[in-house]
Amino acid sequence: MPSSTEPGSARAWAYFERWNRKLHFYVGLFLLFFVWLFAFSGLILNHPSWRFTEFWSTRTQTAYERTIAVPGPDVQGDLAQAREIMRQLGIVGEILWTTTRTDPSQFEFQVRRPGHYFFIKADFDRKRGAVQQSDVNAWGVIRTLHTFTGVQMDDPRNQRDWFLTSVWAYSMDAIAAGMLFMVLSSLFMWLKLPDRRVPGAVALGLGTLLCAVFCFGLRWFF
Partner 1 sequence: MKAGFYRLTRDLHLYLGLFISPFILVFTISVFFLVHTWMPGLGRVKSTRHVVSMSPLPQGLQKLSGRPLIETLKPALQRAGVHGEVGFVRRLVQENILVIPVTVPGRETVVNLRMSDGEATIETREIGVANALVTLHKSPGQHGPDIRMNWFYMRVWRWMADATVYLILFVTISGVYLWYVLRGERAVGLVLLGAGALSFFGIVYALIH
Instruction: Count the alpha carbons within 13 Å of 181 in the hemisphere toward its beta carbon.
Output: 18
Bridge partner list, 66: 129
Nearer to partner 1, 75 or 175 (CB): 175
Rounded Cα gap, residues 31 and 29, in angstroms: 5
Q: Are the C-beta atoms of 182 and 28 separated by less than 8 Å? A: yes
Interface with partner 1 by CB under 8 A: which range of 9-17, 95-103, 123-131, 150-158? 150-158
Give whole-number Cα distances, 46 to 21, 49, 155, in Å: 33, 9, 23
The contact mask relative to partner 1 for 8-37 (x = CB under 8 A, - = no) is: --------------x--xx-xxxxxxxxxx
Bridge partner list, 117: 112, 134
Shortest distance (Å) from residue 99 CB to partner 1: 20
Nearer to partner 1, 10 or 204 (CB): 204
Rounded Cα gap, residues 145 and 39, in angstroms: 12
Binding site residues, partner 1, CB under 8 A: 22, 25-26, 28-37, 39-40, 42-43, 45-46, 48-49, 113-116, 141, 143, 145, 148-149, 151-153, 156, 164, 167-173, 175-177, 179-180, 182-183, 186-187, 190, 193, 196, 199-200, 203-204, 206-208, 210-212, 214-216, 218-219, 222
